Amino acid sequence: MVKLIVARHAESEWNPIGRYQGLLDPDLTERGKEQAKLLAKALSGMGIEKIFSSPLKRTLKTAEEVAKYLGLEVIADDRIREIDHGSWSGLLVEEVKERFPEEFETWLREPHRAKFEGGESLKDVYERVSDFLTWLRDTHGGKTVLLVSHTVPIRCMYCFLLGVDLSRFWSFGCDNASYSLVIMEEDRNVIQQLNITCHLGDLYVEAHRAL
């Protein structure tokens, strides 16, 4: 059994304006830096023994805040990095809607069919996060582990953990600096808490529905 805490990075500079980030690397906002501190405090009593993070700046800085609070190190792993948005990277949601109207509708309505030009598909991300989670279950039995990642890999993780189709990708909330608690067992996985944000108080900001 692995006790798994899954956290999304705190607010980045591009989150409030609705710009697709993908593998591009904006920093945290001032609000995001405060959110990361609140997340660290909220997770401080959960017995975390190991911290993994996407290697991108917004996730690493969030993870490092938790690590500093707990006296741990952060291990970066490419398997839980954000999806490569390809030609959408760096564009605002409104720009994507204008330039790629059919692809945008597919992304919102049939995400399992989406493939970003010059980037990845949802299936690509699903395969790498499922590989990571399987490895984690097999190598970290009895441990409490924190993962700090992004909206797309996190939602793909939930689909894998629950054995549901990628068409249900948008069914899971995933706000900035939120966390979820998952118990991974040999024969089943249980999501005990999902998208917890109460620790953020007035610093909570709802995630953009297309991001």
Angle between helices 57-70 and 30-43 (to 10 degrees): 40
In a domain, residue 90? The reply is: yes
Domain count of the fold of the chain: 1
CATH number at residue 107: 3.40.50.1240
In a domain, residue 211? The reply is: no
- 24-38, pLDDT tens digit by residue? 999 999 999 999 999
Average pLDDT, whole number, for the chain? Answer: 97
In a domain, residue 209? The reply is: no
Separation between Cα atoms, residue 1 and residue 15, nearest integer Å? 34
pLDDT band at 23 (very low <50, low <70, confident <90, very high): very high
Domain span at 79: 2-203
Work out the end-to-end distance of the chain between its first and last CA atoms, rounded to an integer number of angstroms: 32
DSSP state of 45: T
Which of 89, 125, 102 has the alpha carbon at shortest distance from 211? 89
In a domain, residue 78? The reply is: yes
Give catalytic residue positions.
9, 150
pLDDT at 174: 97
In a domain, residue 101? The reply is: yes
Separation between Cα atoms, residue 98 and residue 92, nearest integer Å? 10
In a domain, residue 93? The reply is: yes
- 94-132, pLDDT tens digit by residue? 999 999 999 999 999 999 999 999 999 999 999 999 999
Angle between helices 151-162 and 122-139 (to 10 degrees): 60
In a domain, residue 95? The reply is: yes
In a domain, residue 210? The reply is: no
Locate 8 and state its tokens: 């999304």
pLDDT at 60: 98
